[in-house]
Structure 1
Amino acid sequence: MQVQSPFRQHNSTPVSSFVLTAYFNLGSLRWLFFWALLLLYLLVIFSNVLLVCVIALNRSLHEPMYMFLCSLFINELYGSASLYPFLLVHILRDVHIVPTPLCFLQIYILHVYAVTQLQTLACMSYDRYVAICHPLHYRVRMSRKGTAGLILFPWVYALSTVGVTISFSSSLELCGNVIDKVYCNNYPIIKLACYDTTILNIYGIMMTITVVIYPLFVIFYMYIRILKVCWRGERRTKQKAMNTCGPHLASVLNFSLAAFFEILQSRFDMSHVPNMLRIFLALYFFLCQPLFNPLIYGLVLTNIRLICRGLLLRVIRKQVQR
């Protein structure tokens, strides 16, 4: 889809690559950051793959809540695969140039990851709302067909809406190729456009409301209803509700904090903030969330924790017997 601008265009040349300028000379610390990031990535892969396998191979976990978690962990693997290897390569490079197709591919994957993450968390909040507020109707509302639809919807929605957004961005005529980030992002590219992008900015605000604000509203509305039911219930009911809702609420709050950092980085001038802190705030959204979720769910949810402990003990016994 070509974007036809009603505004007068400036001189522009086709952009074949983008230059990332947020990197700085690490000197002798380069390899330390490389190995630390590689270790973090291996932990992300191990923890998410482990929990996906645990859920997939145990019939006792084939419940809607755990199916949503499985989708969440797969999304963590999908999103982190587009950033961690990219950062590992660029940490060791002196020149940080990214070909245009690869840059837009990274933007597409990271945006799909973010939208899918939040939409899945919203669907999970609905699942907890039905389970706690309408337990007698849970099996009807959260049937296999209904659960499958709620699992697929975030992916289909993210792939389509982000695809439209990237089609607009990739068709812009640009008057520069410098991005002050450590990875490719959509809004800095829009700011490089040779003409007024007010229409695109309005579209971006509308998309932010649709894919961020509305799901967060749904999540917090569901939890207000859940808290009202728990407040009127017995102590045992409150404890059970918090055990299942606590990890999900922690994930939502962590995601909201990370999204706030990312919006702050992209929309406002942060030049007065130390460079290292700016990079951390920009990467927190994609680096910490994929590790936070499997840790919080794996440690807090009793069923998953017991199965993982059993697998670990089984492996240790086999090693001892050898």
Structure 2
Amino acid sequence: MATATSHNKKSSAVKRILSEARELGSDDSDLYTASPLEDNIFEWHFTLRGPANTEFASGLYHGRILLPAEYPMRPPNLMLLTPNGRWEPKKKICLTFTGFHEEMWQPAWGIRTALLGLQTFMTAKAEAAAGIGALDYPVQARERLARQSRGWKCEVCGKSTLELLPDPDPERGEKREQEALPDGLKVDFHAETRKQQAEKDAAARSSTTLKERPDAPATLMEEAVAQPIPTPQLANGEESTSSATPTSSGPSVAAPIITSITSITPPQQLDQRHNVPTTTNATRISATEQKLTLIDNCIKALGLLVALLLFKCLV
């Protein structure tokens, strides 16, 4: 059995793993056997007998258990190395008590729980046999693989499955009994199917939300183009063709009046709306000055919009 020589003996995970190793080492069950590797107690190898009265009944299946550093607060991962027709060899198995479903794991469970749960899940049929790494071989193919599994040899352990888990002696009247699952462990054959459906529903809702509501910056720019700038009034109450009132020293440009972030009008719209002739010589501005004034106002308005958008992003 592995020791904690190369691991922190004060670690709660190491203490728990060594405790389970001692417990399973003294277990004389003929349904399973499991022990950690000599050089890494966070990796276990196990041999599991197929469930009785099924196409797996004559099979002996060897696999790996990978324990996280946070064990037992987080669940282990399991994989079978022996071809079996139920799961892909050398691929992590998606079960309700493995790392694929951490929300369902309970720290009170352990290696024995994982082995019993794995044996129970082997009997899942049809749509229940879903999940990552799942296979649905015909019964005849599984029976053939079960017979072949008895001579399968692990390169790490250096033994065959039959050497690791011998058959009970029929002359001694030994009887195989299926062990019950620990309290609180419910084998949900449809958990993975429901999880996949929930993920699809969430993705669909997210896609619908994005279609109904575009991104904020694009909306702001569209609204900004659609809304006008208030037209300044002259002293005599008439609309001016520009935002400036001429003085003796020349025209002075007033800052545009913006009531909100989305109140900028394109120059084309300004040209059409503000092109109102006046009869007062003092307020008439040449076409060149009008264009310069509009350009100046647009530049200032765009600068203010950019500043507001940057401020919003920072907040």
**Higher helix proportion, which one?**
1
Which fold has the larger relative contact order, with Cα–Cα distance below 8 Å and residues 6 or more apart in sequence? 1
- Please give the TM-score of this superposition, normalised by the length of structure 1: 0.20
Which structure is larger by alpha-carbon Rg, 1 or 2?
2
**Higher strand proportion, which one?**
2
- Please give the TM-score of this superposition, normalised by the length of structure 2: 0.21
